[in-house]
Amino acid sequence: ACRFCPLVNQADRGKPWQGMRWLALLALLGALPLGRAGLYCNNTAGEVCYLQIGGVYRADCEHVYTTNVVAMVNAVNALNGGRGFGVKAGFAADEYYFRLNFTSMTFPNTEDGFETVGRAKAESLFAWLDYVVGMGSQCSDSDPEIQKLATIAEGLSKIIITTRGPQRMFSTPPVKPHFFSIHLNSDEYPRESLQQYELRGMKSAAVVFEDSGNYFFEGVGERAAQIVEESKTMRLVGKSQVRIRSGEEPDIAMLNASVKAAIDERADVLVLALRTPVFQQVFPLLKEAQEVHVFKAVWAVNVPWGNNCGGVGVDCAHIMGASQIATEQTAVYKDDLIGLTFPELQESEYWPMGDEASGSVSSAGAFSWDAAATVSVFVQAVQRVFRFRPLPSGSPGAFLADATNYEAVRVYLREGTLVGNTFAGPTLFSPLGQNAGRLPTTMQQSEQGAPALIFPSAFAAAPFVFPTPGSVTCPLNFFRNYTFTKCPLCAHDCQSCAEGMQWLFSEVCGCSPGYYTPNNVIGELCQPCPTGGKCEGGLVLPYPEDGWWGVPGSDKFVECLESRCSGGRNFSCYDGFDLNMCDGVSQTYYSFGSRLRTKCPETYADQVSVHSLLIVVVFATFLILNFVLANNFDAIDLLLTSLQRLAIVSNFRLRWPQELFGLLVVFEIVLLDADLAKPDCTLSWSFGWSYWTQKSVLLLLWLSRVLPLAIGAWRVKRRHKVPWRVALFTEGEHASHLFNRAVAGTIEVIMMMYPTLVKNILDVFMCRELPGGRTYLVVDSNYECWTPQHHSVVAVSCLLVPLVVLGFPAFIGLVLHRAQKSQRLHNDTNLQRYGLLYQRYEPHTLWWEVWRTVQMGLLVAVQVFIWDTPLVQANVALLLFLVGLASHYYMQPYESRILDNLESGAYFVSCLWTLAGIDFFSKDFTERDSLLSLCIFGIIFYCLCAFLLAYLDVRGKIEAKVATSKLSAAAEKLREIRRKSVGSAHRLSVAGSETAEDSAASLPIHSQSSARSDHHPNTSSRGVIAGIKRRLVHEEGEKDEFTIEELHNTLKGSYLGRWARNTEVDMDLYCQLRAIDQSLKDVVSDQSPTSQFSVLPEADFFRRLDGAFPGLTEWLCDAGEGEVGRLQEVLGSLLRANAQ
């Protein structure tokens, strides 16, 4: 039925006994050379001669060889009228014709199938064959078996040609001279593409290939890396292997890491030598990385496989690869032996038709040209060797049995001479035995899903697309949008970079300067640089500007106090500052005030000495200013109060210039803050230390006032053997109870420390979250909130808020209200305890100290609670100062005009200082230096004026004290004279006829201690005269035990001073008031709301004056100018007598 079937021996396809019969026959032929020679005959005699070819194949791929080899055998045997191919040794020699006989055997596709079955078959079959058609690439993962078959053929000196291309097959020792391959060296597949990439300017490449024992994948990967390394312009940025073993899952993690490393390196070229299932895992990685990096070229061995990139299809578009040959080439390459191309052979009558019943093989899927080409190259080699080499005359049909002739064929194949054209094109062999007749065929996958031939150019079916469309750069400040791309390397859309973005580098939009990406991801929309941060653009995270603080990795920044945070990429602080918000002190520095830092001494002893000296100096300065000066001189007290206001405003976060820091420390001294001189060199100071130390300072100040009194009481108790009650409440040499003085001292200490105490108490409630997510106190950015330590100070502050912050103003207000309502302001007890609260004020503003305390508390509250908005803070403080200035200007609360002017100036300077701070806070303010000079000059000028006014006040106070002291001594003498005088009927009505000495002797004297005058400082000599008169207008023995000093203390001395000046206006007013009093005294009681005594303090003054000297006011209203002048002379003589 088949014309050529008798010529093909398929030994394994018959029954078992038939196979055994063929093996026995073949063994016999191999053992009997003479018998073999007898089978060959002279072609001229008309007898057929055969060359025996065949091979042993794995059962799963044997059909490829039987199909293709049989087709070639049929075509060859049909040459020359069915006589086969001819061999002619020269023009004169006879031509001999030979036909081919193909025998194939198989072994099971099992782990030991070759060793148990295949080896014996190969050894038996190869022994009598003239040529072995080797197994090859059609049998996957068959490299070990191919090597073993080649070793068997080499042992029998038989030429074997395989269809396998890795160089390692032929270079692995020992070298097999009879071993050849019709395939090109597959290791060289990437060379053409890599050379093209290099010519087009590619600079870097990464290679990823299998570690599986497969010679093909490993050979391609190793040679690709070697080609890149040998390049003069490209560099290898990655070379990695993916472990793949039979029975194990591929190492996909290693694959992912390798591809991502190539992406991170921004490699221009990626070379892949992986089997298809693993190769498919690369595409999700390429797709995911599109926004970051797209390779300009990708090369993979899979592109030619299956005509659709091994089944990957369109995802593989624009990837390049290489193979032995392309369809376009097989249609052109014509075999010189049979004169047909491979497609023509497939369509010819020689191609075996399927006949499953007879055991023949169907052609479906068996189109491997290479197996057929091996037959042709061997036959053409034989023809070429024996063109000029005569065949043996005795037995020309057995010419290959001659070892010399056979060796001549092998040497010819090995010497690199062109053998001829086959289905593989021009065919010649390298010294290693591999086909080197042409270059591998390079292909590139199209977006239609099929590969297109691009090299060699003569066969190109499509242009070389380079670089990959997905890597093409967009115009300036446009970015690549891959949303609608069909594949990882396909063309993209170019869209304009979003607002705040520009080209980060040549292919990707990144952030412009002044913008940043919160997650540091390329392609993410950029956000404006956060306040206080500096953004360089690109992928650089923001870092703090000078004067701002933050933590690395956070995009939140907080403004520091002046000259603390230097910012920058290192998130650093200026020298001396450290920790959160640069609010702490460096280990080798100590602080003086809130802004100054100084290096610590080197030795511990020096550190202790420095801190001790600072603490003593600061504490002593505060005591002198407050207890010595401010306690005795009201002008100094007002000056210190104004400096406290300035100190509080200076602690607002208003970006004060560094040139003012020294002045700000002076302001802070008057607050006596425990943080003023912290022992940072020897202790790790924190808010906890500050909080409790501040309470200790208050206790020390209180003890400094109370302890001397307690010691005095102890001495009285010990000396006079009296109980503590008597010792404390008995008047001493200064005519004041020790207990009363202790109360006054306590109030005095709290008044001085009130601003600092309020701030220290309220600070514990103000926390804020810093960059990094943790919460700290505003006043100390290193003291964490809501910890056990913080809970303890919060609990204490919750008790102190109603007791001190709110309680102290309420307490002094209540004391003044009750005393005034009960008309006990002039009472000795009230004067001694609370006189410092009201004695320097006019009668209508006795409550002014309460208003001043509330103002100071509100100013501190503004500092504490509005800390995060300095401008609002400053404006609220400015409003407080303006309200204080307006109220002061309207009320004129002080008895002394000097104090009124001094307080007005203090409010005015506070307003100007706050306005200056607002200007310093503004970054747009351009007159900084001028304003700085103005501030310094203004503060100095104010202080000079304040000191001048204070000097005047202090001088008057000193003069009053000296005069009072002298007059007290004189009063004692005059009082003694008064006792010795005859009667007490002498009055001022007859003063004109007395001498100065007689007048002095007749005046009633009530001795009072000079300590009384401490509660009412007078600022002129007229105040001294008023003090004298207080001692003259009293007569012992009266029923109403009332002293003019008490009257003066009640009325603050205002009207008595006016009476002393004896102005005409005052005298007229006084006389009118007396007339009204006389007309109403019978119908209106003193307690009536309409009584002149209740409504007008002037009337009350005259009432009390009449009580002390009956008839005096009547005489004054009726007396003439001469009589009044005479009275003033009497008073003058009294002064002279006292001076003597």
pLDDT at 1004: 37
Among 302-316, 558-572, 634-648, 1046-1060, the range scoring the smallest mean pLDDT is 1046-1060
The burial of 1046, by beta-carbon neighbours within 10 Å (0-12 exposed, 13-18 middle, 19 or more buried), is given as: buried
Of the listed ranges 28-37, 223-232, 263-272, 830-839, the least confidently predicted one is: 28-37
The three-class DSSP label of residue 179 is: strand
For 754, counting Cβ atoms within 10 Å of its Cβ (0-12 exposed, 13-18 middle, 19+ buried), the class is buried
- The closest of 178, 200, 6 to 103, measured between CA atoms, is 6
Structural Rg of the chain based on CA atoms: 59
Task: Say if CB 73 and CB 104 are below 8 A apart.
Answer: no
pLDDT beyond 80 at 923: no
pLDDT band, very low/low/confident/very high, at 1021 (cuts 50, 70, 90): very low
- The CA distances from residue 430 to 180, 382, 427, 438, 1038, in Å, are 9, 18, 10, 11, 149
Q: How confident is the model at residue 44 (pLDDT cuts 50, 70, 90)?
A: low
Please determine, for residue 109, whether its predicted confidence score (pLDDT) is greater than 60: yes
- For residue 444 the two structure tokens come to 């590139």
Q: Are 177 and 427 in contact (CB under 8 A)?
A: no
Highest mean predicted confidence (pLDDT) among 598-607, 666-675, 715-724, 820-829? 598-607
CA distances from 1066 to 351, 1071, 1097, 1110 (A): 148, 9, 14, 20
pLDDT of residue 158: 96
Give the pLDDT confidence of 812-851 residue by residue, as tens digits. Answer: 999 888 888 887 777 777 777 888 888 888 888 888 999 9
So what's the pLDDT on residue 707?
79
Its pTM stands at 0.50
pLDDT given at position 1095: 47
Mean pLDDT of the region 39-60: 75
Determine the pLDDT at residue 819: 83
Length of the chain: 1140
The pLDDT of residue 709 is: 74
Using the predicted structure, report yes or no on whether residue 1007 has a pLDDT greater than 70.
no
Average pLDDT over residues 412-427: 94
Nearest-CA neighbor of 579 among 789, 784, 792, 787? Answer: 784
Mean pLDDT across the chain, nearest whole number?
A: 78
User: Is-contact 94 44, C-beta < 8 A?
Assistant: yes
What pLDDT, on the 0 to 100 scale, is given for residue 307? 81
Q: What percent of the chain has pLDDT over 90?
A: 33
CA distance 1008 to 1047: 14
Token couple for 240? 């990695």
- Tell me how far apart the alpha carbons of residues 192 and 645 are, in angstroms, rounded to a whole number: 85
Residue 1031 clears pLDDT 50, i.e. is over it: no
Homologous superfamily assigned to 186-323+441-459: Response regulator (3.40.50.2300)
What does DSSP assign to residue 764? G
Q: Between 601 and 379, where is the model more confident?
A: 379
**3-class DSSP state of 681:** coil
Whole-number pLDDT of residue 984? 38
- 82, pLDDT greater than 50: yes
How far is 131 from 151, CA to CA, in rounded Å? 14
- pLDDT for residue 19 is more than 80: no
Q: Are 870 and 561 in contact (CB under 8 A)?
A: no
Q: Which of 584-588, 752-756, 958-962 has the lowest mean pLDDT?
A: 958-962
Query: Token digits for 453?
Result: 């031939």
Residue 832: the pLDDT is: 78
Q: How far apart are the first and last CA of the chain?
A: 171
Taking the C-alpha atoms of residue 378 and residue 427, their distance in angstroms, rounded to an integer, is 11
In the chain, what are the domain boundaries?
Answer: 5-185+330-435, 186-323+441-459, 497-549, 614-925, 956-1139
Mean pLDDT of 585-597: 79
β-bridge pairing 767-769 and 508-511 = unpaired
1042-1087: pLDDT as tens digits: 343 433 333 333 344 444 444 444 566 666 666 666 665 555 444 4
pLDDT band at 495 (very low <50, low <70, confident <90, very high): confident
Which residue, 358, 903, 956, is CA-closest to 639?
903
Q: Flag the least confident range among 84-93, 286-295, 904-913, 1021-1030.
A: 1021-1030
DSSP 467: S
Distance CA 463, CA 532 (A): 55
Q: Is 547 left (phi over 0), alpha (psi -120 to 50) or beta?
A: left
Q: What is the pLDDT of residues 138-164, one digit of tens each?
A: 888 888 999 999 999 999 999 999 999
| 255 vs 389 pLDDT, higher one | 255
Name the least confident of 298-312, 736-750, 912-926, 1045-1059.
Answer: 1045-1059
Position 312, amino acid: V
Name the residue with higher pLDDT: 968 or 505.
Answer: 505
What is the structure's pLDDT at 1058? 42
pLDDT band with cut points at 50, 70 and 90 for residue 117: very high
Supply the pLDDT for residue 845.
86
Average pLDDT over every residue of 15-39: 38
Look up residue 733 and give its amino acid: E
Note the pLDDT of residue 524: 78
CA–CA dist 193, 202 (Å, integer): 11
1086 contact partners, CB below 8 Å, separation of at least 6: 1093, 1094, 1103
Cα–Cα distance between 991 and 998 in angstroms, integer? 9
State the pLDDT at residue 576.
85
Predicted pLDDT at 779? 86
Residue 1015's pLDDT is 36
1070 vs 903 pLDDT, higher one: 903
Q: Which of 179-188, 781-790, 943-952 is predicted least confidently?
A: 943-952
Mean pLDDT of 1017-1034: 38
- In this prediction, residue 976 has a pLDDT band, given cuts at 50, 70 and 90, of low
pLDDT at 672: 74
The confidence band for 1102, taking pLDDT boundaries of 50, 70 and 90, is low
pLDDT of 879 > 80? The answer is: yes
Task: Answer whether 1090's CB lies under 8 Å from 1084's CB.
Answer: yes
- Mean pLDDT along residues 192-203: 94
Q: Are strands 543-544 and 493-496 parallel, antiparallel or unpaired?
A: unpaired
More confident residue, 267 or 610: 267
Do the Cβ atoms of 899 and 634 come closer than 8 Å?
A: yes
Superfamily of domain 5-185+330-435: Response regulator (3.40.50.2300)
Least confident segment among 81-90, 352-361, 887-896: 352-361
Measured distance CA(667)–CA(910) in Å, rounded: 12
Q: Which residue has the higher pLDDT, 415 or 358?
A: 415
pLDDT of residue 737: 67
What's the pLDDT at 735?
37
Which one is predicted more confidently, 378 or 457?
378
Residue 141 confidence (pLDDT): 83
Going by pLDDT thresholds of 50, 70 and 90, the confidence category of residue 506 is low
Count the Cβ atoms, other than its own, within 10 Å of residue 574: 17
Q: Are 863 and 756 in contact (CB under 8 A)?
A: no
Same fold, 5-185+330-435 and 186-323+441-459: yes
Span 238-261, average pLDDT: 91
Structure confidence at residue 40 (pLDDT): 38
Strands 204-211 and 235-243: parallel
Report pLDDT for 562. Answer: 74
What are residue 334's phi and psi, to 5 degrees?
-110, 135
Task: Read off the pLDDT of residues 735-786 as tens digits, 9 standing for 90 and up.
Answer: 346 777 778 888 888 888 889 889 889 999 999 888 878 899 988 888 889 8
Q: Report how far residue 278's alpha carbon sits from residue 250's, in angstroms, rounded to the nearest whole number.
A: 7
